[in-house]
Amino acid sequence: LSPGLLVVAGSFAAFRLLNRGLERLVPPPPSARRNRWKWRNIWTGFGEPEALVHTHTPSPPRFCLHPELSEDLVGTHPPGAHSLVAVSVGYFLEDFMDMLCNQKLHQSWELLFHHSVVIICFGIAVLLHQYIGFALVALLVEINSIFLHLRQILLMANLVHTTCYRLNSIINLGTYLVFRMATLAWMSHWLFLNRDKVPPATYAVGTVGMAIMTPMNIILFYRLLRSDFFK
């Protein structure tokens, strides 16, 4: 087995154990006890950004410390970046399995579809030891995921009418635009400009991935805006 696959397997197992033990660490409030698995699932999602931070330096500082990344996102990656992407693949695999086993398909198909795209694209980077820099750019999206998960926790804890929820809604929307929408737009632009440097098969996977992810994130942004500000 390649080291990358071992890291993916270790990450999957670690997040699975975290999921199993979270109910003891963070007991669900009465309003969330009817949906205990969802409570555990969201708190496990908090663990992914934490794991990325503690495993290696997060994405933004990496581009400052390694300026060569901005010139070559295909073959260049600093030490540890490969493991960083592999850890993320392990989390998405665990979350995919958790939703598949505990949630009805008509309620989770969008996220399952999203996770499938991420697993395929990141998995290619891990297996080929290429496009790691491109995957690091994509991991900027996880900064916004922190506030998305916090929003869901506050909703399940019935804390919608609080200052904390209102403040998180504003930060969530701001980080969504900066770290999710702008990142996806930049990635699509990079793929278009570098289509001659990327093999056709890989370019097709990347293009299809962006074509799927961009509309999904626009729809989610509209839902957040409507729910938290125009309800």
Asked whether residue 139 carries a pLDDT value surpassing 60, the answer given is yes
Count of domains observed in the chain: 1
190/53: higher pLDDT: 190
pLDDT mean over 157-168: 94
- Report the percentage of the chain scoring pLDDT > 70: 88
Burial class (CB in 10 A: 0-12, 13-18, 19+), 61: exposed
Does residue 154 contact residue 168 with C-beta atoms inside 8 Å?
yes
Question: Given pLDDT bands bounded at 50, 70 and 90, which one contains residue 116?
Answer: very high
Domain of residue 122 covers: 3-229
Please give the Cα distance from 187 to 60 (Å, whole number): 15
On the question of pLDDT at 98 being above 60, the answer is yes
Summarised one tens digit per residue, pLDDT across range 52-80 is: 654 555 555 555 545 555 566 787 777 68
Q: Which amino acid is at 61?
A: P
Q: What predicted TM-score, i.e. pTM, was given to this entire model? A: 0.88
CB-based contacts of 89, cutoff 8 Å, min separation 6: 8, 11, 118, 119, 122, 123, 126
